[in-house]
Amino acid sequence: MRLIYCTHSLCNPGGMERVLVNKVTYLVEKLHWDVSIVTTDQKGRPSFYPLPAGVRVTDLGINYSDDNVKSVTCKILGYLQKRRRHKRLLTSLLEREKPDIVVSLYPSESSFIPDIKDGSKKVLELHFCKYFRLQYGRKGLLGIIDKWRTHQDERIVRKFDKFVVLTNEDKEYWGNLHNIEVIPNAAMNIGGHFSDVTNHRVIAVGRLDYQKGFDRLIQAWEYINKSGLYSDWCLDIFGQGEWKEMLQEMVQAKNLSVYVHLNSPVKTIGEEYVNSSLLVMSSNYEGFPMVMIESMAIGLPVVAFDFKCGPRDIISDGENGLLVPNGDIPGLAEAMMKLMGDYELRRRMSVKARQVVDTYSEKAVMDKWVRLFTSLAVK
């Protein structure tokens, strides 16, 4: 079987990048499939997560991200120009490589990949929820474009041979599509050990941007700090991104520097989970939060906003974690304090959290992908 994955880049320490590398590694090392990756914005940087030997990575040099700091008009004109070049270069590559299946993980090529007639089957793998474009609440021309593109997404996904979402919740948002499948991400214990949930440390992991909502988490920690009950606890946030300076200033302005720490990403994040006692997720939206299932596999109970999409599929409220209405910052603080102040509750939830691997084991998830790919290849 010859597969090509199309994505933005591999240089970031994100969940989507980790999922892709894990899947490629499984398909190459266990099934001996021919798998390669095509990127648009790699810019010569190495993959953050190591790839198995023999996996080819081709960067098309489109560099969509170069336009992020430009004006709205320049963004639109630049995008249209780059999209045309992207389609031309990708078409040439697919006609040359002749893959059996092409999987798109990135919105930029999803609009034209089904139109490339190279003989391959086309799969769209969405790592966001349906309404991810609208979560920013942007106004003016960009807000109009977000709404228009969300409407266009409904048309585009129908053109793929298979459209894969990560949760049943998201499947319901898309409605009755003939080609939709639900395949979640896999939960693996990446720490080698389990947390004993005794350390007075809360952990949060993700890109420092709007999506992850760490501004809301810092506000919640301010409530905790004002209670005066948990001065021996700390919050460690691991990530990088455009909000780093703003979040650091926020921590300092609220006099939380002793308790709240912004840390750079690490490749040994599993060890950080082992040395923590609970994970908190303050995201505005997700597709399927890898951080959540990875930390639960290590035994961390989770406190999370009930955002779209993912938490409701994974967390049994009160059993392996606590769900808080999205945006309820005092509620998030109260939920964290409930676990911080009760070791026995943390311990019971830790045992339940580890059972996530029963539902989301690597073999169970990859079996679903293999069945999907092989069914397409024989058609």
Q: Decide if pLDDT at 310 tops 70.
A: yes
State mean pLDDT over 270-284: 95
Task: Please report the pLDDT score of residue 312 as a whole number.
Answer: 84
Task: Please report the pLDDT score of residue 134 as a whole number.
Answer: 64
Question: Model pTM?
Answer: 0.79
**What does 68-101 look like in DSSP terms, one character per residue?**
TTS-HHHHHHHHHHHHHHHHHHHHHHHHHH--SE
State mean pLDDT over 229-245: 96
Retrieve residue 105's tokens: 């993980």
Distance from C-alpha of 316 to C-alpha of 311, rounded to nearest angstrom: 9
Q: Give CA torsion, residues 236, 241, 243, 246, to 10 deg.
A: 70
The CA angle 113-118-119, to the nearest 5 degrees, is 110
Distance from C-alpha of 124 to C-alpha of 159, rounded to nearest angstrom: 10
Range in 151-155, 171-175, 201-205 with the lowest mean pLDDT: 151-155
Distance from C-alpha of 323 to C-alpha of 302, rounded to nearest angstrom: 8
Cα separations in angstroms, 165 against 145, 148, 306: 23, 21, 18
pLDDT in tens, 154-187: 889 999 999 999 988 889 989 889 999 999 988 7
Contact, 368 vs 228, CB < 8 A?
no
Distance from C-alpha of 295 to C-alpha of 260, rounded to nearest angstrom: 19
Range in 18-22, 299-303, 359-363 with the lowest mean pLDDT: 359-363
Task: CATH number for 201-359: choose from 3.10.20.30, 3.60.20.10, 3.50.50.60, 3.40.50.2000.
Answer: 3.40.50.2000
pLDDT in tens, 37-65: 999 999 999 999 999 999 999 999 999 88
Q: Decide if pLDDT at 139 tops 90.
A: no
Contacts (Cβ under 8 Å, ≥6 apart) of 30? none
Q: What is the assigned CATH class of domain 2-186+362-377? A: alpha beta
- Give residue 359's pLDDT band: very low, low, confident or very high (50, 70, 90): confident
Look up residue 326 and give its amino acid: N
In the chain, where the domains are located: 2-186+362-377, 201-359
Distance from C-alpha of 379 to C-alpha of 356, rounded to nearest angstrom: 34
